Amino acid sequence: MEAQKQQGYHVQGSLIKARILYIHVNHGASALKEVLALLPEDLRGMLSKPVYIGEWYPLALLTELDRAIVNLLGQGNERVHEELGSFSADINLSGAYEPLVHQDIHEFLRLTAFLHRNYQDFGEARYIKLGETAALLQFSYPQAPPEAFCKSGAGYFRRAVELCGGLRVSVKIAACMRLGDPKCEFRIEWST
């Protein structure tokens, strides 16, 4: 059922590539084979050739890959979703997307919302400054994305703000469409 809701949603290959690198770096090449064996055949086939950061891939591929990583390598520990998001920030914001990292955290978050559709082809994003060291990122989707997507997003935003110089970063999911809220919201706070 969740895969049906995701039908038509796509993410950039940089997210998929970061997951594959996470497995290699933290668990080795043999673990990748074990994770891939847990994927449905059609999705596994997409990973039988190189993954390109600028190409679009179904959100279902990311979701199933995350589920397999959490279940097999994380032994069901849901915090692994945040680790995956954090790892993705480290990889992607030190590579091709490094120019997005700013010492001005608000500028980074504003750019994140502005460039949202460059990384996923669904939903709209909005940045709201709440104070000198606080902001809200709001996401409106036709249908709520999977919970794991939001959890990894929280890890991504936390690490991204740290890379921009934020200290003691806190990211809370303040609203969630899956819980009946009109938008998904991440409240981000930090120290300088």
Contacts of 12 (CB under 8 A, 6+ apart): 53, 54, 55, 56, 57, 118, 119, 120
Residue 3 has pLDDT above 90, yes or no: no
User: What structural domains does the chain harbor?
Assistant: 2-78 (no CATH), 98-191 (3.90.1520.10)
* Strand (E) or helix (H) holding 140: strand 134-140
Q: What is the DSSP string of 153-170?
A: HHHHHHHHHHHTT-EEEE
Residue 187's Cβ-side half-sphere holds a number of Cα atoms within 13 Å equal to 7
pLDDT tens digits, residue range 19-61?
999 999 999 989 999 999 999 999 999 998 999 988 999 999 9
State the chain's mean pLDDT as an integer.
91
pLDDT tens digits, residue range 93-130?
886 667 777 779 999 999 999 989 888 999 999 999 99
